[in-house]
Chains A and B, each alone.
Chain A
Amino acid sequence: MPTGSDLRRAISSGLITGGIMIYLVAVGIAPALAERQVITDYLTLGRLMLALPALAVGYLVAGRVGSAIARSASALAAGVVAGGLFSAALLASVALSPGIRSVLVRLSTGVLDFVGFADLGLEATGGALLMFGLAAGLALLGGLIRLAPGAVRRTIVGGAGAMLVVTLLEPFLRPRLLQWGFAEFDDWLYVAHGMTPISATSVFVVGAILTGVWPRARQAAKARVANADPGARSVMRWALLLVALAFLYTVPWLSGSFLTQVIVLVGFYVLLGLGLNIVVGYAGLLDLGYVAFYAVGAYFTALITSPTSALGWGLNFWVALPMVVALSAVVGLMIGAPVLRLRGDYLAIVTLGFGEIARVLLGSEALKPWLGGPTGILSVPFMIGDGKYSLPIIGEQSGAAATYFPLLGFCVLAAFVAHRLKYSRTGRAWNAMREDEDVAQATGISTVNYKLLAFAMGAAVGSVGGAAFATHLQGVVPGGFILLVSITVLAVVVLGGMGSIPGVIVGAFALIGTPELLREFAEYKLLVYGAVLVAVMILRPEGLVPDAARKAELEESRTDDGPLHGPEFDVISGDA
């Protein structure tokens, strides 16, 4: 049996979990996904969303040392508490319905029916009992998964992950399958919406097998690379690069027009993320007004390339681009020069102020003659031709696909520059400055100049993103340049790992791509970004794909047994 403290822990975890489940319903996330079928007629994403916290709490609570029975008992206890709280809340809401809707707007009878399993013909009490039983059972299951050997755990997670991916990709995978002549496979995999029990099981099994095989296959591949002679290794590297390039080249053709739009959107955030990463990740300057550079790039491009703008020059995009980049770098320097003497948190707020000033000015009547006020500037020309061009093998590109190739080029270029900068003398100076500004200065690094350089570099990359964005939409409107863009880019960089280039790409796909795959979810995007920022900073400040130097730095600060607060006791820096 679990000890007293374990039980207390299980109960409090259960209460928190119950609270999370109630929150997920009341805020509307779980009900929004209620229509999204995972396994038709059996499981929806909405129910899965409610099941996950229960599973997770069982898994976490069972992590304590102790006998297998004690650990599974704790998991069960947590589940019972969570389920009890949730069921009680459900019954209370049903009793208060429909009046409760005047406060908690999401709790319609439809939503309460969804939570209470009305589709199984259950009354409120029956539904609450079923929820209670499910929560307890799932928590126990989570606990048992934790008790299982590592290999089993991995396979289960792999199988479940495969099912989730196949579900998420459904709206994009189906038309592709039909187009390529896999209609029968499509019929087998998905019914109207969602998978069939048989196909879901198969996907689970395939996913589980792949996860089971993966570590061994990876090890074998690693061993072969390690054993190969240098010549063969370089051949392998080039082959890998070639495959990657071929893949990137065929992305628009493979993914179809809708998924290409999503990828292009992700691409813009990759580009912006790479730029902000230089400022935040390398130099350690928190810039909350990054959108200002994006806006400068977009508006200046629109001004000089659109024939209908106030300037009316109607330049070619590629002629305009160097001018845009140069101007933005200058703007970066001009904004940077006065503010870079400020301490980190003040700098963040000042840049936020600049971003907001830019936003208000863009849409204002005062600047309407030049920037077009709320309507912005229209008829910005395409980057290449009239938005249509032909490429070998994959044929004509138009719409988002036409933006894809130049944007890919910008991203690759930005990643290359960022990579080279990182391991250059400049990168090392930034690194030193970020870790300890005063020591860096004492070793002869001109911190002001390096900060300015970071600001200008970030501004230049951001402006390229803005320029591409203006041509992609063939116009600019002030509504696209709001604080949330800055914060979204920051979330991308933070989630991926500050200072990490692959991290930016992963972060952009996770934060920009996933919500596009879950259209029902769009309303909760910002909520999730907020939660991601908090959770990453607390649980994994180095991000998903950590940068080695940054990780070491953060770990040092975390395990540092110094005073509660650094600055006051920091004799060398002498501030505060």
Chain B
Amino acid sequence: MRRPSSIRPADVVLWALGVAIVVGVSVGAFATLSAGLLSGDQWRDLLIFGVSQGSVYALIALGYTLVYGVLFMINFAHGDVFMFGGMTAFFVADYFSDSGFLNGNPILAVPLLLLVGALSSMIVAIVLERIAYRPLRRAPRLVPLITAIGASLFISNSVRGLYGDSIKAYPRIDFFQGTWDIFGIPILKAHATVIVAAVALMAVLYWFVERTRTGRAMRAVSEDKDTAALMGIDVDRIIVTTFAIGGMLAGAAGVLYAIVYNQVIWSMGFLPGIKAFTAAVLGGIGNIFGAMLGGVVLGILESLAPFLLLSGLGVPSPNQLKDVIAFSVLVLVLIFRPYGLFGRKEGT
């Protein structure tokens, strides 16, 4: 399609950018490590935090990837679907906490919370698909994206209006206080739970997509909608199912996120949403396994990079720039490898 032989200014800019990044990253990392700014234990804790954060991103990223797989659209409102689950579960958690159920029987209460979050997000996702996206199946690509941005604003601000403007503190769950020693490494219980829950959910999803009839239909629809329809697959139903599954995972992720951070607010969907999208692109959008890996990689990068790269370069308050790292990863991946680390090179 393009003339690869001639050198264009855009390529020069790209090359310069690439070289500058490689140099910056190496110098920063070398400076930090050689100065020994952080101890080994601190690096390990950052890494564990990154993995737990990343597994939440991975759960959200799956929703982006699944929807992109069947509709080729970026569901920009997915971050707010995630927020809605965490937010709704808050009220149930609050109720459980008041009645003593939450701390009396956490093994039962926490899965119930996850279920509430998952179901409420699922409902939002289904309604979203029905109202905002289904009428636009044949519209030019940017039209559903603009709708999705509008839907994102609408959902978050509706929650703000309905549930209030303030930060809501999640009730304290005694079960998650303190650490577990796993292979001699102390891991915060909340982090360990998040990782375990996320891995379990992803395993279930993998089984669902690979082994069930509906999962096969989903894969068929994502390969080729029209042929799938000819094979007797109800495409509309599969698309709704996809949104529902993505919503459930996001809702569960919302509860896990709330457990780690101990609070929820109406605006909490935006940043994790964008980061999860980054994770999905990182793993090759449309690729389920890639989204999982992309989430964890991004979580680790975001947690380590500010210290590893920036403090070595002498940048003050590097953690403030955590989001810049995530967005830079987003921009760089889209520029250099838009098909992701594991994706096939196509459709770019």
Contact = CB atoms under 8 A, between A and B. Distances in A.
A329 B227 CA distance: 47
Interface string A431-466: 000000010010000001000000000000000000
B7 interface: no
A533 B151 CA distance: 8
Interface in A552-576: 553-554, 557-558, 560, 562-569, 574-576
Interface string B322-335: 01100110110011
A286 B142 contact: yes
Interface in B245-287: 270, 274, 277, 281
Nearest to B277: A349
B139 A490 contact: no
Given A338-B335, A524-B161, A532-B150, A356 B315 contact: no
Interface in A510-543: 523-524, 526-527, 529-535, 537-538, 541
A441 B2 CA distance: 9
B164 interface: yes
Contact of B154 (A360, A534, A541, A558): A534
Contacts of A28: 161
B138 A566 contact: yes
A192 to B, nearest CB: 29
A105 interface: yes
A286 B143 CA distance: 10
B13 A334 contact: yes
B180 interface: no
Contact of A344 (B141, B315, B327, B331): B141
Interface string A113-156: 00000000000000000000000000000000000000000000
A102 B163 CA distance: 8
Contacts of B235: 564
Contact of B316 (A342, A345, A365, A530): A365
B135 interface: yes
Contacts of B17: 338
A27 interface: yes
A394 interface: no
A494 B150 CA distance: 11
Contact of B10 (A284, A337, A554): A337
Contacts of A483: 270
A538 B94 CA distance: 38
B1 to A, nearest CB: 7
B73 interface: yes
A566 B153 CA distance: 28
A349 B334 contact: yes
B145 A104 contact: no
Given A448-B10, A534-B147, A366 B321 contact: yes
Contacts of B147: 533-534, 537-538
Contact of B331 (A29, A350, A438, A448): A350
What is the size category of the interface that chain A forms with chain B?
Answer: 35 or more
A572 to B, nearest CB: 11
Contacts of B145: 286, 344-345, 348
A558 B139 contact: yes
A537 B320 contact: no
Contacts of A288: 149
Contacts of B317: 364-366
B93 interface: no
Given A27-B161, A337-B10, A348 B142 contact: yes
Contacts of A566: 138
Contacts of B331: 339, 350, 353-354, 357
B233 to A, nearest CB: 12
Nearest to A575: B347
Nearest to B18: A338
Interface string B137-172: 111111111110111111101101111100000000
A454 B143 CA distance: 20
A364 B91 contact: no
B74 interface: yes
A65 to B, nearest CB: 23
A533 B150 contact: yes
Contact of B142 (A29, A344, A356, A530): A344
A576 B317 CA distance: 43
A343 interface: yes
Given A530-B157, A533-B153, A337 B13 contact: yes
A345 B141 contact: yes
Given A345-B73, A527-B154, A541 B143 contact: yes
B213 interface: no
B338 interface: yes
Contacts of A527: 153-154, 157-158, 160-161
A554 B162 CA distance: 36
B321 A568 contact: no
A26 interface: yes
A64 interface: no
Which DSSP category, helix, strand, loop or mixed, fits chain B's interface? helix
A361 interface: yes
A444 to B, nearest CB: 13
A23 B155 CA distance: 12
A476 interface: no
B211 interface: no
A334 B153 CA distance: 30
Contacts of B346: 575-576
B146 to A, nearest CB: 5
A323 to B, nearest CB: 22
A487 interface: yes
B142 A568 contact: no
B132 interface: yes
A215 B225 CA distance: 49
Interface in A391-446: 438, 441
Nearest to A346: B334
Interface string B2-19: 000000111001100100
Contact of B163 (A103, A350, A523, A541): A103
B150 A529 contact: yes
A340 interface: yes
Contacts of B154: 527, 530-531, 534
A28 B338 CA distance: 42
A352 interface: yes
B321 A106 contact: no
B149 A357 contact: no
B130 to A, nearest CB: 12
A214 B106 CA distance: 70
A103 B94 CA distance: 10
A535 B17 CA distance: 40
Contacts of B321: 360-361, 364, 366
B224 interface: yes
A36 to B, nearest CB: 18
B132 A365 contact: no
A554 B142 CA distance: 12
A282 to B, nearest CB: 13
Nearest to B70: A565
23 contacts: A338-B14, A343-B338, A344-B142, A345-B142, A348-B145, A349-B274, A350-B334, A361-B321, A361-B324, A364-B321, A366-B320, A523-B161, A527-B158, A529-B153, A530-B150, A533-B146, A537-B147, A541-B139, A560-B138, A564-B138, A568-B225, A575-B348, A576-B347
Interface of B: 1, 8-10, 13-14, 17, 72-74, 91, 94, 131-132, 135-147, 149-155, 157-158, 160-164, 224-226, 229, 235, 270, 274, 277, 281, 310, 315-318, 320-321, 323-324, 327-328, 330-331, 334-335, 338, 346-348
Given A349-B330, A364-B324, 15 more contacts: A104-B162, A105-B163, A288-B149, A334-B13, A338-B17, A339-B335, A344-B142, A349-B334, A356-B274, A357-B331, A360-B320, A365-B320, A490-B146, A529-B150, A538-B132
Pairs of residues from A and B, 10 with the lowest C-beta to C-beta distance, nearest first: A533-B150, A530-B153, A530-B154, A27-B161, A527-B157, A105-B164, A534-B150, A365-B317, A337-B10, A353-B327
